[in-house]
Amino acid sequence: MTRPAFDLIDTYVHLEERGGAVPEDVGADFWQTIGARDYEGRRLVCVFHMTGDSSTWEMHPAGDELVYLLSGALDLLLQEAEGERVVELRTRGACIVPRGVWHRQLVRKPSDLLVITPGAGTQHRPA
């Protein structure tokens, strides 16, 4: 049965290695319980509406992350081996965050981001 239309802000989608797409409703405890979920071999697709800077750095050891700015303006900070790099995303634009690179967002204007990320093993630390 086909699921009715949904919003990627409230319902994330897991893309499975074998081609499946599995929606997951996002509740209030989603981020508190994310470590208990098995994301091995999956990519998480979601949209974030951001009005303020991210409060944590994150890093994905399982693969590269695609960040696509749908609207707004933000700076994506990447802590690479060569030093910190700023990727300015304005109006629309994409950036690939390499596997293992710590990153966070600084919001210049309220923004909507489409993110496709490997969920397995994602790590966070305070900004």
Instruction: Report which residue type is found at 108.
Output: R
**For the chain, what is the mean pLDDT?**
90
Q: Using 50, 70 and 90 to split pLDDT, how confident is the model at 24? A: confident
Q: Is residue 45 part of a domain?
A: yes
pLDDT for 66-103, tens place per residue?
999 999 999 999 999 999 999 999 988 999 999 999 99
Residues 64 and 103 sit within 8 Å (Cβ to Cβ): no
State the CATH number of the domain containing residue 53.
2.60.120.10
pLDDT for 47-66, tens place per residue?
999 999 999 999 999 999 99
Domain extent, residue 92, equals 11-126
User: How far is the C-alpha of 48 from the C-alpha of 70, rounded, in Å?
Assistant: 10
pLDDT at residue number 14: 86
Residues 115 and 48 sit within 8 Å (Cβ to Cβ): yes
Q: Is residue 90 part of a domain?
A: yes
Q: Is residue 3 part of a domain?
A: no
This prediction's pTM: 0.88
pLDDT at residue number 26: 84
Q: Is residue 110 part of a domain?
A: yes
Q: Using 50, 70 and 90 to split pLDDT, how confident is the model at 33? A: low
pLDDT at 120 over 90: no
Q: Is residue 5 part of a domain?
A: no
Lowest mean pLDDT among 23-27, 29-33, 111-115, 117-121: 29-33
Number of domains in the chain: 1
Q: Is residue 2 part of a domain?
A: no
**End-to-end CA gap in the chain:** 43
Q: Is residue 65 part of a domain?
A: yes
Q: Is residue 4 part of a domain?
A: no
